[in-house]
Each structure stands twice: as C-alpha cells, then as structure tokens.
Amino acid sequence: MWKGRFDEELRLLFDEYEKKFGCDPDTYEEIAYYAMSYDELAEYIKECLEKGVEIDEVVN
Amino acid sequence: MRKQKDRCIVADAAGDEESFTAASIKLRRQKDIYEDFCKAADSYTQYERTYVAGYDRRLAGKTGAVTRKQREFEKAQIVMDSDIGDKLRRAAKSAAIQAKVVSYDELDDNVKTSFEHGLKNAHPEVKRAINAIKDKTDYAYSPKERSFYDPSLNYVSLRKDAPSGTMAHELFHKIDHMNKITDSPEHGISKALHNDWENLLNKSNGDIVGYLVDSHPEAFTFNRSGKIVFKENYRGISDIISGLSGDGINLGYHHKAEYWSQSGALEREAWAQFGRVYFDNDPDVVKMMKSIFTNFDNNAIMALKGVK
C-alpha cells in the first residue's frame, strides 16, 4: 500500500490503472511500495499504462 | 595396547618425538575401542592386563598430553572445515546472484534487532521453527523492490527496510521447501484451505466481503480511492482470500490471478502468510485467522509442530 504523497496527478494515474487492470496499482502484496519515491511510483504506473502490463512486471 | 606402550617407551628413550606421538595416538584409539567394547558387552575394563614394565606414570602423563593436543586439533579442524564450507557456499552463491550472500550474524544490526524483537512476541512454535533455521540460512540484501526466497539457490533475498514479518514470511517459504509441507497430502493444507473456503461461501451466502466486514469490522478501513480494504496487519489474510478466489476478491493485498493459477501457489503462499500472521502474533488477526480459516489454521499448526 502506497503511504506517500497522493495528489491529483497520482489519483488520475491510479484511476487509469484501475480502469485498465481492474485494481489499484498499490495492492500487489509482494511489492515494497515503501521503498519507492513518489516519482518512481508515478513512472512505474506510466510505464504500465504504455506497455499494457501490470506493475509487478515493471517493478524491479 | 601393550605393543604401543612398548613403542612409547622406546621412542621416549630415543628422544624420537614423532614416533612417540604416533604410538600415543594409536594407544588412545585402542583404549577408546576397548572401552566401547566393554560398555557394549556390559563388562568391566581390565587395564591391569595391559600392564607393561617401564610404562610408568610419567609416560602415561606424556601420552595423555599428546592425545589431548591431537583431539583439540581434530576439533579445530572440524570447526574450520565447516566454517570454510559455509564461506565457500556463500561465495559461490554471491557469484551466481551478483550480490553478497551473508549469514544471519552478518546481517545489519538494525535488521537483526528488529527481527529478534518481533521473534520475542511470536507464537512459540513459530519462534522455535525460525530459531532452528535462521542461523543456517543464507541471506542477500535485495536490490529489488521486493523480498523473496529462492529455492533453487536456497537463500532469502531481503530488503534492508522490510518489516520483520516479511523476513518471517520468506523463512516460512524456506521451511516449506525444506520440509515439503504444502506439497505433501499428509498435512492436508490444500484440502483444509478449500474446506474453509466452502464454509465461508456457505456462511456468507456468496457475499464474502459483506460477511467479513459485518463480522470483523475492526479489520477494515477505506483506501484513498474510497474502496474497502484490509488494514495492513491483516495483509496475510487478504492475500489468502485473493488466492482462494483466484484473485476475484482483492481487499488491498493480493497476487494476480496468473500467479494463483500456478500449481501449488495458493498452498505455498497461504503457508508463508500463516507464518507472517503468527510471527506478528497480533491477537485480533490471529482470532480472525482461526475464525475464517479454522481447518487450515489447525493443519498448519500441526504441520509446524512437526518441523524439526
């Protein structure tokens, strides 16, 4: 679960992700969201939306 | 034994320390064999029959000193061999994964302190099982944004900042792998999970989320998008529900359907989440676990008790 800053930009990215993949991007149990910065999370989501793959496949 | 005593006498007289050492070691070995034999035969030792004129108290003392040194040397050799074995194994793993593989002792103090603190509060069986393997486990700090257990190279890849429950979770994957817990029908993990799921479907009339929220309101909260999700300390339960529903139910902590479709993924992950729940040992979470996964909880506890 993402616990950092959550602004309008991130909310829009979350909404787009949810529409595409059916869940919020910060609900994958195995991913350490606490280890990411705001920019990293936003970039990961953008990459998912561009490539059409879920976040567990783009996160290291 | 008499022959070796004679050799000790001759070597001592000639000042031949090498021959004296060799004869002393052989004498000690023969004494050990003789003592073992007498013990097995339930009879007494008769050292008077090994008497040799000239093999006096001074020589017996000298022989004793030589064999004591030899035993200390052998002991040190064993320790050294084992130490070298561990270092070589870790060096080989380090080369394979391009990251330093270390022992539990070599982990950062803050990682160990946090884990030991968590372990104090863990369920006694979890504490026992983890204490039995944590020092025998190889670890590497994960450069990735996740922690995991790699069964092929048998090491735990851990983020330095991971919660201590995550380390317990990964160690439970190792316990499973080494003891074949979820693979073996003897522990009935799979059957228990599916029975619990059937019971949950029946009790909830198919509305599992509604039922859980009504019966355990303390376990839930709302996320930023306004969706109802489990609180973080319930993440293990959330993930098991995701698995049982083939990710049809995502209550904040889930794996995707593709992951759950792999053979054994549900059982392996449920077992590791069971480890997390009983490591954290939050009474409310444990209560919910027992309440909704009664069969799985019982079987997992029984399986854990059998882990050496």
Rounded to the nearest 5 degrees, what angle is found at the Cα of B284, between the Cα atoms of B212 and B225? 50
User: Which one of A19, A29, A48, A58 would you mutate to disrupt binding with B, by most B Cβ within 10 Å of its Cβ?
Assistant: A29
- Other Cβ atoms closer than 10 A to B14: 10
Determine the distance in angstroms separating the CA of B246 from the nearest CA of chain A, rounded to an integer.
14
Determine the distance in angstroms separating the CA of A6 from the nearest CA of chain B, rounded to an integer.
8
Q: Give the per-residue pLDDT at B66.
A: 82
Q: Do B253 and A27 touch (CB under 8 A)?
A: yes
The span from the CA of A18 to the CA of B214, in Å, is 26
Sign of CA dihedral B146, B149, B153, B155: positive
- Other Cβ atoms closer than 10 A to B42: 6
Q: Give the per-residue pLDDT at B268.
A: 98
Q: Give the per-residue pLDDT at B224.
A: 85
Burial (CB < 10 A; 0-12, 13-18, 19+), residue B226, is: exposed
Residue A15 with chain B: CB contacts under 8 Å: 225
B17 phi/psi in degrees, rounded to 5: -65, -35
Say if residues B147 and B158 touch (Cβ distance below 8 Å). Answer: yes
pTM: 0.77
Say if residues B8 and B63 touch (Cβ distance below 8 Å). Answer: yes
Closest by Cα among B193, B161, B189 to B175: B189
Q: Give the per-residue pLDDT at B248.
A: 97
Q: Give the per-residue pLDDT at B71.
A: 74
Long-range contacts of the stretch B237-240 (C-beta < 8 A, 24+): B237/B273, B237/B277, B237/B285, B237/B288, B237/B289, B237/B292, B237/B293, B238/A29, B239/A29, B239/B269, B239/B273, B240/B193, B240/B269, B240/B270, B240/B273, B240/B293, B240/B296
User: Could you give the 3-state DSSP secondary structure of residue A7?
Assistant: coil
- Name the residue facing B254 among A14, A18, A28 (closest C-beta): A28
The span from the CA of B164 to the CA of B169, in Å, is 9
The reply to whether B211 touches chain A by the CB within 8 Å rule is no
The reply to whether B220 touches chain A by the CB within 8 Å rule is no
Extract the residue ranges of chain B whose pLDDT is less than 70. 40-42, 73-82
Say if residues B27 and B62 touch (Cβ distance below 8 Å). Answer: no
The span from the CA of B29 to the CA of A23, in Å, is 71
Q: Give the per-residue pLDDT at B16.
A: 86
